[in-house]
């Protein structure tokens, strides 16, 4: 494991760290460096139970409520995140915090767990300038600012949120339920099961935000959509959340504008 950064979370000021693990054999991502963003002072499982994961996940709806109830995040924190946290606590890492070229000639998956917006944008700019390519996603797209838009996808779970993110200039990565169709401007992730695993993220690298600082006007690449693929319970929650968000948007748009 390589330790890349330690410091206060941009989201709430709690101590967090960024670490990288090499040699991933994930079927969908292919051989990418996996980058983890974790609390430095609380075990990831405890952080979920106490809500302290807000430091690394912000207001992501997949965290659930009241200590992880209804959590539908696809990352099981008791596995890889717990192992990374244990290695950090035991100081079993190669300290690369001062190595700007830590991603030299590598392909990187930012946020194997944790949201990149928990870490200052300049850290990512410095490090990614040496990488071959990357993928990155943030649920903090309403607050993270334009700098994150230039290298992250907005993670959304409904068509209504996707439209809002587009208006704010983001490209989107949308997780859809079975009743939600592929929208105009979206393509199905080519590495997904539904697309027949045509490629890997390491080769595709479409999920790297905006290639133009001018936002969507300067980048005509498609948005990405994928079917929810988690446990049956998480899948049901995901579907319910998408339907509720889209139904709310429909009702809101049908209501007359409020008058003072």
Find the part of the chain contacting ligand SF4 (CB under 6 A) among 2-10, 80-88, 113-121, 203-211: 203-211
Using rule CB under 6 A, residue 15 touches ligand SF4: no
The closest alpha carbon to 80, from 149, 34, 126, belongs to 34
Q: 87 vs 188, which CB is nearer to ligand SF4?
A: 188
Looking at the DSSP assignment, which residues form a beta bridge with residue 35?
20, 110
Look at the block and give the residue holding tokens 């040699």. 23
Burial class of residue 87 (count of CB atoms within 10 Å of its CB; 0-12, 13-18, 19+): middle
Q: 21 vs 192, which CB is nearer to ligand SF4?
A: 192
CA distances from 190 to 57, 178, 199 (A): 26, 17, 6
Judged by CB under 6 A, the residue of 35, 42, 117, 201 near ligand SF4 is 201
CA distances from 107 to 88, 92, 104, 111, 189 (A): 23, 23, 9, 13, 18
Q: Are the C-beta atoms of residues 123 and 98 closer than 8 Å to each other?
A: no
Name the minimum Å distance from CB 236 to ligand SF4: 23
Q: 127 vs 171, which CB is nearer to ligand SF4?
A: 171
Look at the block and give the residue holding tokens 């996808």. 153
Using rule CB under 6 A, residue 142 touches ligand SF4: no
Using rule CB under 6 A, residue 190 touches ligand SF4: yes
Using rule CB under 6 A, residue 97 touches ligand SF4: no
Using rule CB under 6 A, residue 206 touches ligand SF4: yes
Name the minimum Å distance from CB 170 to ligand SF4: 14
Distance of alpha carbon 185 from alpha carbon 183, whole angstroms = 6
Name the minimum Å distance from CB 241 to ligand SF4: 20
Q: Which residues contact ligand SF4 (rule: CB under 6 A)?
A: 135, 189-191, 199, 201, 204-207, 224
């Amino acid at each position: 494991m390589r330790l890349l950064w330690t410091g206060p979370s941009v989201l709430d000021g709690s101590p967090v760290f960024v670490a990288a693990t090499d040699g991933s054999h994930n079927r969908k991502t292919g051989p990418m460096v996996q980058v983890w963003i974790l609390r430095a002072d609380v075990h990831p499982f405890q952080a979920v139970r106490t809500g302290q994961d807000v430091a690394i996940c912000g207001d992501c709806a997949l965290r659930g409520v009241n200590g992880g109830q209804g959590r539908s995040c696809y990352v099981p924190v008791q596995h890889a995140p717990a192992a990374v946290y244990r290695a950090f606590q035991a100081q079993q890492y190669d300290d690369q915090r001062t190595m700007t070229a830590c991603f030299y000639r590598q392909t990187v998956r930012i946020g194997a767990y944790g949201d990149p917006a928990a870490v200052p944008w300049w850290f990512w700019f410095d490090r990614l300038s040496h990488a071959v390519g990357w993928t990155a996603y943030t649920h903090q797209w309403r607050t993270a600012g334009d700098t994150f838009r230039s290298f992250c996808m907005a993670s959304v779970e409904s068509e209504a949120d996707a439209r809002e993110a587009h208006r704010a200039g983001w490209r989107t990565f949308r997780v859809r339920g079975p009743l939600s169709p592929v929208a105009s401007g979206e393509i199905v992730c080519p590495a997904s099961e539904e697309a027949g695993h045509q490629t890997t993220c390491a080769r595709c690298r479409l999920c790297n935000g905006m290639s133009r600082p001018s936002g969507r006007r300067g980048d005509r690449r498609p948005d990405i959509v994928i079917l929810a693929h988690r446990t049956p319970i998480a899948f049901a929650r995901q579907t319910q959340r998408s339907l509720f968000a889209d139904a709310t948007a429909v009702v809101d748009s049908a209501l007359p504008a409020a008058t003072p």
